[in-house]
Amino acid sequence: MASSSSLPSSNPFGPGSSFAKISEEEEYDVTSPTDPSFRRSHTTSQSPFSSEAGPDEDEDENNNNTQINRNIFASAYQDSGEGLSSADLSAALSNAGGPGQGMPNNYAMGRRTSVSAESLNPTSSGADSWTPPFHPKTDEQLSRLKKAVSGNFLFSHLDDEHLKTVLDALVEKPIPAKGIKVITQGDAGDYFYIVEEGTFGVFINPSGAAQPGPDGLGTQVGSIGPGGSFGELALMYNAPRAATIVSLDPKSTLWALDRITFRRILMDSAFQRRRMYEAFLEEVPLLSSLKPYERSKIADALDTIKYAAGSTIIREGDPGDSFYLLESGEAEAVKAGTTVKEYSRGGYFGELALLDEKPRAASVIAKTDVKVARLGRDGFKRLLGPVEQIMRRTEYDVDPAGTPTTIEWLCSIYSIDCAMGIFVLIPPGDLHLVDA
């Protein structure tokens, strides 16, 4: 049965919000990863990540990245302090005739819309008379579309039948100018978008909704390029748009998927995966500096693999194509018959071959039955750029004899970042950070 519900005019992610979710969706008692309550409602311990990084932090991250000698990380979604300022964009918007000019139909162009709360249990697709939309495509369109979705992790877990349904339902949306607002923060969600061509800026206004005026879009927190996607959050969580998305190139191409097909077909696996991995990813020390939304994107790209005790997960000398996070069990890195490192839940391995395009530097063996979350090369490069420096730091620095120094060994045992400050060893063996 359908009922209707208007989204509130204030953003539920903003302070003091009293956002009521659409009742049919109550089976999902979750909040969006952009919601300040997201971590509190998903962890028992006090979260160390209680505030979103502001623009300064983003800039710092960016500056750090520029110090890397060879940055292998190219991103379909990347944090960036660069791009147009809000003022530049306002100028671009007025040059383009203002928001709404030259816009394809159905875009949320600054208007507040209400959403009909369809009965949308994604697991019950097929149990009613819903027929997915079918938009015929030329061979040329289909081949471009397939290429655009091939690198998108939300599509990589679909079976052939579901993939076909989604491809049939997608509609091409040419974006003819720079500065076009495809999504406006605070609006209701209508479409999910895949980027085929061009780059789009992600802007967040801390008030929870885009405002009029030169700085109304807020701060640019990232950009999304070919193969990337956006617009899933409002559809997944029945929440207002969490960000404003604006075209940064004179000509771009998007593919739009309607809300119902997204929820019935794409959301199921994405939602499960984000939910399955979110608590684990919050515990991984390597990822602790990432924002919740960045961890959600990593969850989209992970696959879990189980290994029995004694099996070889990585073999020394092999070419590397995957990075691993240890979800459960114990593993060890072995070089020439000697154990050089031990891993437990939250540990990671397999990064060196991907960072430096070198063969595997050690074997990694399961000591007990283990579960690992595997990230392929593409996901590693697209999603782990912000933590590249942490991975490159001291953990594998070795003394001339080839053995880790005592302090490096201790830092790795305690999962502490040695580069953060001065550490003292307090008997009987606790390592303390005394200065940063």
Ligand X SMILES: Nc1ncnc2c1ncn2[C@@H]1O[C@@H]2COP(=O)(O)O[C@H]2[C@H]1O
Q: Which residues make up each annotated binding site for 3',5'-cyclic AMP?
A: 232, 241, 351, 360
CB of 286 to ligand X, least distance (A): 19
- State the sign of the Cα–Cα–Cα–Cα dihedral 374, 337, 329, 285: negative
Helix (H) or strand (E) holding 112: none
Which of 221, 270, 301, 352 is the binder for ligand X (CB under 6 A)?
221
Which of 103, 120, 177, 202 is the binder for ligand X (CB under 6 A)?
202
Q: Pick from 141, 134, 122: which is nearest to 169 by CA?
A: 134
Regarding 333 and contact with ligand X (CB under 6 A), the answer is no
Regarding 231 and contact with ligand X (CB under 6 A), the answer is yes
Binding-site positions read: 232, 241, 351, 360
Q: Pick from 261, 203, 262, 253: which is nearest to 228 by CA?
A: 253
Q: Which residue is nearest to ligand X (CB)?
A: 234
Which of 99, 216, 222, 347 is the binder for ligand X (CB under 6 A)?
222
CB of 144 to ligand X, least distance (A): 22
Q: Are 265 and 165 in contact (CB under 8 A)?
A: yes
Regarding 34 and contact with ligand X (CB under 6 A), the answer is yes
CB of 78 to ligand X, least distance (A): 10
Question: What b/e string do you get for 24-50 counting C-beta neighbours within 10 Å, with b at 16 or more?
Answer: bbeeeebbbbbbeebbeebeeeeeebe
Q: Pick from 204, 226, 224: which is nearest to 216 by CA?
A: 204
Regarding 7 and contact with ligand X (CB under 6 A), the answer is no
Which of 107, 293, 380, 423 is the binder for ligand X (CB under 6 A)?
293
Q: Which span sits near ligand X by CB under 6 A: 136-144, 240-248, 332-340, 371-379?
A: 240-248
Regarding 189 and contact with ligand X (CB under 6 A), the answer is yes
**Angstrom distance (rounded) from CA 369 to CA 362:** 20
Which of 92, 149, 194, 242 is the binder for ligand X (CB under 6 A)?
242
**Angstrom distance (rounded) from CA 420 to CA 412:** 13
CB of 203 to ligand X, least distance (A): 9
Regarding 209 and contact with ligand X (CB under 6 A), the answer is no
- β-pair partners for 405: none
**Angstrom distance (rounded) from CA 274 to CA 354:** 24
Regarding 201 and contact with ligand X (CB under 6 A), the answer is no
CB of 317 to ligand X, least distance (A): 39
Helix (H) or strand (E) holding 174: strand 171-175
Which of 145, 243, 353, 383 is the binder for ligand X (CB under 6 A)?
243
**Angstrom distance (rounded) from CA 269 to CA 155:** 9
Give residues in contact with ligand X (CB under 6 A): 34, 183, 189, 202, 221-222, 230-234, 241-243, 245, 293
